[in-house]
Structure 1
Amino acid sequence: MDLLRSVLLGIVQGLTEFLPISSSAHLAIVPQLLGWEDPGAAYTAVVQIGTELAVLLYFWRDIWTIGSGWVRGVFSRAARQAPEWRMGWFIIVGSLPIVLLGLLLEDLIDREFRNLWFIASMLIGMGLVLGLAERIGRKTKPIDDLSARDAILLGLAQACALVPGVSRSGATISMGLILGYERQAATRYAFLLAIPAVVGAGVYKLKDIPGGENAYGTVPTLVGTAVAFVVGLAVIHWLLQYVSKNSYTPFVLYRIALGAVVLVLLSAGILNGAVAA
């Protein structure tokens, strides 16, 4: 049974990680709706490795170009004039806020923040922010225009995703739109920026999986991670095609509707606000 549940949650993770609708919120809500125990924060962190592996595969050329360009810049002054050197540093600097705050707030993230009342409120609140960003953003700047200031702001936005219900991609994309970047540019950078933080968090949480409280166990977790990888790969391709021609408005409406439904179910006592760590 744990294996089947993990497969379903892997599908949920793959579908929701890259869409700006919060995978952590869905991994907290879906088990309760189906009457299952919560898989725990450790499971959530590890299964996200599957979707980040999908990013590594899909963007391997970008990653190789940026990574090799950054390494060349370490040893060559001339190579430091290349955009890859700057982009490498932007991703490193942009990753620092979520890493530092993740370590400092680990107990809050694993326990106090994992509350459905809080998560539902964040779904609605961040939905409104995304809607505002979609409305006021100029959406004219390509990713090549990225500056150090913008990289720091995008990193701080990503750090907000430590709070379940915010959405890593949603927060980063919202900031990108507010700063005037094109939808596709903001989306693409959000994916690249997430790699160090998500892979690092997943590896860090691996130690909590075997025999961990409310965790499904090692084998189901690995299966869920593999499923998340396959589904996530398809979602990345679809989303980049979608945002090149369409707005984020449907995701805004979905977030607000889901948050409202969860609040109603909590008020009616159908769902329990507390989520296990």
Structure 2
Amino acid sequence: MSLAYLFILALIQGITEFLPISSSGHLILLPQLTGAADQGAVIDVAVHVGTLAAVMIFFRADVAMVFRGVPDLMRGRIDSPGSRMAFLLFIATIPVMAFGLALKMAGLVEAMRSITVIGWTMLGFGIVLYVADKKGAEDRIAEGWTLRDAIILGLWQAVALIPGTSRSGITITGARLLGFERHDAARLSMLMSIPTIMASGGLTALDLIETMDGQAAVNGAIGAVLSFGAALLALSLMMRLLNAVSFTPYVIYRIILGVVLLALAYS
């Protein structure tokens, strides 16, 4: 894989990871539309790890609070803001891990990496996001997150394993339906991404060690660094825009891309 192509992959991942337009869907589409070889799951997860570092830095106050609460959680106490948030993030991660393991064991992961699947999910979940954003109340903030919310958003997040759905998009959709205001819906979505990316990155790292593919490790490291810079910039821009702009522009993009992909798939 050339450095130029790796740069494009990392840029796409960094820009799209925190926008509700499916970073994984774009990473799958790139080789299919250009005719290049699929970069594979190792590179996909590596650039996700780069965005993980970006979200941890951007939300460093929340992340620090969670880490301070982990010792209390380990002792079975969830009476502090940090331990409570750590507990709820853990609960919200369980569904996606279980669903991901089931898909892997069933051999369906690669089967879903198609233009047809991405086209339908891009279109369908874009419309769902629009409805949720327009109909959802805005009377709740992230600090009011409950166990019930964590379970529901965890189930929404599991759906994002279907390419084209968008992990951030589907969790923001769920949060808006639960009444969280836009900024805090996005904040919860980003915080939920941290344990999810950590888990998937760890599993892929184990696969990489087993295969002893040194070149994949080098490419992954480069991709992670490049995606970090792009993601930090994109995240900062989106969170600022949410103070004045709804999610409608992302919905329009999803619908247009979904229609184009379905036209290509069925032509």
- Give the TM-score taking structure 1 as reference length: 0.89
Q: In structure 1, how many angstroms separate the alpha carbons of the residues matched to 2:116 and 2:209?
A: 29
The equivalent residue for 2:203 is 204
Instruction: Quickly say closer, same or farther: Cα 1:210–1:28, change in 2 above 3 A.
Output: farther
Equivalences for residues 35-46 of structure 1 within 5 A: 35-46=35-46
Q: In structure 1, how many angstroms separate the alpha carbons of the residues matched to 2:72 and 2:146?
A: 21
Matched, 1:147 2:141: no
Equivalences for residues 87-102 of structure 1 within 5 A: 87-102=85-100
Q: In structure 2, how many angstroms separate the alpha carbons of the residues matched to 1:211 and 1:89?
A: 32
Residue ranges of structure 1 left out of the alignment (5+ in a row): 269-277
The equivalent residue for 1:85 is 83
Instruction: Quickly say closer, same or farther: Cα 1:267–1:233, change in 2 above 3 A.
Output: same
Letter in 2 for 1:28: I
User: Cα offset for 1:244?
Assistant: 1.8
Letter in 2 for 1:88: A
User: Cα offset for 1:86?
Assistant: 1.6
Equivalences for residues 1-277 of structure 1 within 5 A: 2-72=2-72, 74-75=74-75, 80-106=78-104, 107-209=106-208, 217-268=216-267
Instruction: Quickly say closer, same or farther: Cα 1:149–1:196, change in 2 above 3 A.
Output: same
Q: In structure 2, how many angstroms separate the alpha carbons of the residues matched to 1:208 and 1:37?
A: 20
Q: Which moved more, 1:66-75 or 1:12-21?
A: 66-75
SS in 2 for 1:21: coil
User: Cα offset for 1:216?
Assistant: 7.3
User: Cα offset for 1:72?
Assistant: 3.2
Q: Which moved more, 1:150-159 or 1:258-267?
A: 258-267
User: Cα offset for 1:76?
Assistant: 8.6
User: Cα offset for 1:27?
Assistant: 0.5
Letter in 2 for 1:81: D
Letter in 2 for 1:205: T
Instruction: Quickly say closer, same or farther: Cα 1:218–1:2, change in 2 above 3 A.
Output: farther
User: Cα offset for 1:267?
Assistant: 2.8
User: Cα offset for 1:46?
Assistant: 2.3
Instruction: Quickly say closer, same or farther: Cα 1:76–1:121, change in 2 above 3 A.
Output: closer
Instruction: Quickly say closer, same or farther: Cα 1:73–1:110, change in 2 above 3 A.
Output: closer
Q: Which moved more, 1:236-245 or 1:105-114?
A: 105-114
Query: What is the CA RMSD across the aligned residues, in angstroms?
Result: 2.0
Q: In structure 2, how many angstroms separate the alpha carbons of the residues matched to 1:146 and 1:236?
A: 22
Letter in 2 for 1:173: I
Q: In structure 1, how many angstroms separate the alpha carbons of the residues matched to 2:215 and 2:261?
A: 24
Q: In structure 1, how many angstroms separate the alpha carbons of the residues matched to 2:121 and 2:64?
A: 35
Q: In structure 1, how many angstroms separate the alpha carbons of the residues matched to 2:207 and 2:257?
A: 30
**Do 2:19 and 2:169's aligned partners in 1 also have CA atoms closer than 8 Å?**
yes
User: Cα offset for 1:48?
Assistant: 0.6
Instruction: Quickly say closer, same or farther: Cα 1:250–1:240, change in 2 above 3 A.
Output: same
**Do 1:211 and 1:217's aligned partners in 2 also have CA atoms closer than 8 Å?**
no
SS in 2 for 1:105: helix
Letter in 2 for 1:18: F
User: Cα offset for 1:112?
Assistant: 1.4
Q: How much identity, in percent, do the aligned residues show?
A: 35
User: Cα offset for 1:110?
Assistant: 2.6
Q: In structure 2, how many angstroms separate the alpha carbons of the residues matched to 1:95 and 1:169?
A: 14
SS in 1 for 2:19: coil
User: Cα offset for 1:83?
Assistant: 2.4
Residue ranges of structure 2 left out of the alignment (5+ in a row): none
User: Cα offset for 1:161?
Assistant: 0.8
**Do 1:109 and 1:162's aligned partners in 2 also have CA atoms closer than 8 Å?**
no
**Do 1:39 and 1:216's aligned partners in 2 also have CA atoms closer than 8 Å?**
no
Instruction: Quickly say closer, same or farther: Cα 1:206–1:2, change in 2 above 3 A.
Output: farther
**Do 2:123 and 2:259's aligned partners in 1 also have CA atoms closer than 8 Å?**
yes
Q: In structure 2, how many angstroms separate the alpha carbons of the residues matched to 1:13 and 1:207?
A: 22
User: Cα offset for 1:232?
Assistant: 0.3
User: Cα offset for 1:52?
Assistant: 0.7
